[in-house]
Amino acid sequence: MKLLNIYIASWAPSSTLHLKEYYRALVHWESAYFKRAEVKSWIKGMEVEGVQYVPEAINVLGGRFINGLFFRVSEDGMIILGRQADDFHKDSQRLEQFLNKKMINLWENLFSRGAARPKVFEEIEARHPFLLTVTKASKDDMEDVFRQFDAIPHKKVFLDQGEVWIGETLVVVNNSKFSKEVLDKMVEQLLFARVYEIQLERFVKGYEVLWNKVEGIRGKKFFQQQDLPVMHDRIINIQNQANFFKARLNQMQHFLDWRGKLIDEYVQDPTLNQTFKRFFMSLHSSQKYLQETWSMLLDYINSTVRLTTFLYSDNEHKNLANLQKLFLVSTVAAIISLGSITLMDMEKALVYGGAAVILSVLVYIVYFKLLGRYKKIAIFESDIEITKEKSH
């Protein structure tokens, strides 16, 4: 088996405006939003050897770095980094390090500052798929490559020009006789399908995390009165995170449709063309399923928000009413003490009145503060039932 090239990919939805700004920063060390010194610090170690802005159906930025790495960045946010393969273990580590610390770092510095991405989304590991082109590889060679990458080939496509083995995080193209231009397009579509599916996996994991958090709240029949504000803030935070996930899913749909319409133009081989169309049909199905699942979860979260908001407001209203009652008691005590002035000397009146006020305050502290804070409030006496679908 002879190794040819190895690629790695990343994707975050973007636009042609992002691509032009990325080009400006990478080539001219300039930005419309940041000082030149900042941009130079971000691109340190990214000395380009040649860069081209290529207008296509999906505009791309392509070029090479002086360290031998080559890249392709598209306006929809796809970043592909590659190099000639010598030792795919060392090569894959080198590519992933450069992708994360240089190319993605530059992208995030330019565009992600102040972006409201939920902590849950950031905590879910963002994996990057690899693609390896080889020649004269036997079946045993192909299986060995997947074992060494700790990946499983889910689909094997046999073509007149070669074969393509496709796994979750690894694709291997063997004995390809396609032209460089056709191969580049095929690599881009293969990696997009892989990285898109990995993104959908993050949404499945995010769903599990937020579901468990909501269940942690809904599963408690009673809350201490003092915990209501914290619980209310917590469910609002969960709602904000869920809204982000749903909005991002809807945003991703556009890019999937866009790429799908270009399969005939980008993938000329009939067998591989049909394979890609089936890939995209599967991705559409998963996309639709997740959109509906997140809609159900948001309905569940929103009902919890409405209930906790009502309970929080109702509890505050009751506390205010209690304060009003206490004030009335204190006022009566004060009037009684003032009325006693005619019956006793000033010193005794002050002692009597002061004792009445202190007693009222003690009643408030003991009953409303100490005992009230441990008062159990029934939250979910009538739970809203929802069936949680198991992921397959």
Q: What is the pLDDT of residues 6-57, one digit of tens each?
A: 999 999 889 999 999 999 999 999 998 899 999 999 999 898 988 999 988 8
Compute the distance between CA of residue 7 and CA of residue 15 in angstroms, rounded to an integer: 23
For residue 8, the model assigns a pLDDT of 97
For residue 361, the model assigns a pLDDT of 64
The predicted model scores a pTM of 0.79
For residue range 319-363, list pLDDT tens digits in order: 555 555 556 555 655 555 555 555 555 566 556 566 666 766 666
The proportion of the chain whose per-residue pLDDT surpasses 70, expressed as a percent, equals 74
For residue range 78-91, list pLDDT tens digits in order: 999 999 999 988 99
Mean local confidence (pLDDT), 301-316: 73
284, exposed or middle or buried, with CB in 10 Å at 0-12, 13-18, 19+? middle
Please determine, for residue 1, whether its predicted confidence score (pLDDT) is greater than 60.
yes
For residue 389, the model assigns a pLDDT of 43
| CATH for the stretch 2-181 | 3.30.530
Average pLDDT, the chain: 81
Instruction: Indicate where the chain has its CATH 3.30.530 domain(s).
Output: 2-181
Compute the distance between CA of residue 279 and CA of residue 288 in angstroms, rounded to an integer: 14
For residue 312, the model assigns a pLDDT of 61
For residue range 179-208, list pLDDT tens digits in order: 788 888 889 999 999 999 999 998 999 999
392 DSSP 8-state letter: -
CA distances from 270 to 71, 210, 276, 277, 299 (A): 27, 43, 10, 11, 44
Lookup: tokens for 354: 């002061």
Mean local confidence (pLDDT), 271-296: 91
